[in-house]
Amino acid sequence: MKSILDSIKTDGPQIHVLSGSIAGPNMARLSVEVTHSYNSREQPERTLAAILDKTGRTLLPVKNSWRKIDSSAFTDVISGVATINREAVPLTKENRGKFHMYASNMFMDQEQNIWTLKNTDTGNVLIKTNIIEDDAALGELLQSMSSDAFKSTSTSALRKPSPRDIVESGDYVSYVSPKLRSLQYGFVVLAFDNAKKYSELMVLPKEDINASESISKDSVIDVFQVDGEIMRQEEEMTASSRPVSVDDILEYYKKVFRRSPSYFERFSQNVLKHHFA
């Protein structure tokens, strides 16, 4: 068995998957222990590449979504989001010999991976077929990677509370969008539990208030909670015996969305257009 000192002499950081959970359609949250090789702590892209390799290139770590939750001399425990890796390569004269057709629009490479041919405006593209096609298959993959055979003191770090556990309506969050497969920012307007066994949030993206999307709580990266002044105003509005006016609503959300005046402007326009019964 390799010692830590042996590991840091290798070309890349060593990855052990500590836990994994489904974080929405075709997405997973992973917590991994990273034993760093020379200089890899200062080069996070090497860690993301090592995580991709550890999953058999099945899960692609989302850039900027990974956060450190524990650290020691040679190791870090990090948590972040990865999406199903949809590898695609253009089919050209140069690489045509590396693939052979075995069915209509289906090709096989030298490692017996299956690729589907897709015609695009820029030419023919081969898309690698993935064995992960639904939540059940993704769950099985995550379970197989989180090996009980690997015992680590770092697993205690996973029990630390996360801001995701207490995210609520009005919070400004960063999250991985299942539509864009990248880090986005937005405001939480609704939190609820769904039938798929993970908590969901309804988010209004900062850049497009009309493009609300439903996300898993596990896809949230950072939570920026509203301050005490806003919470006091919310309590006063709730406790007040007088009817709450549109002006009251706008004044409240002006403070909630104070980080983005242009966002609030679009929000207020939508409220003013709405007919309240």
Asked if the model's pLDDT at residue 62 lies above 90, the reply is: yes
What CATH code is assigned to 163-224? 2.30.30
Output the average pLDDT for the chain: 77
Q: Encoding tokens for residue 236?
A: 């006063």
Using CA atoms, how far apart are residues 88 and 69, in angstroms rounded to an integer? 33
Are the CB atoms for 139 and 84 separated by under 8 Å?
no
178-181-61-22 Cα dihedral, nearest 10 degrees: 10
Q: Region 44-65: what's the mean pLDDT?
A: 91
Structural domain spans, the chain: 4-85+134-159, 88-128, 163-224, 228-273
Give the pLDDT confidence of 69-118 residue by residue, as tens digits. Answer: 998 888 999 999 999 887 788 888 888 888 888 887 888 888 877 888 88
Q: Region 153-168: what's the mean pLDDT?
A: 71
pTM (two decimals) = 0.67
Lowest mean per-residue pLDDT among 173-177, 190-194, 228-232, 270-274: 228-232
Using CA atoms, how far apart are residues 135 and 267, in angstroms rounded to an integer? 34
Nearest to 27 by CA among 1, 62, 3: 62
Give the pLDDT band (50/70/90) at residue 205: confident
Asked if the model's pLDDT at residue 124 lies above 80, the reply is: yes
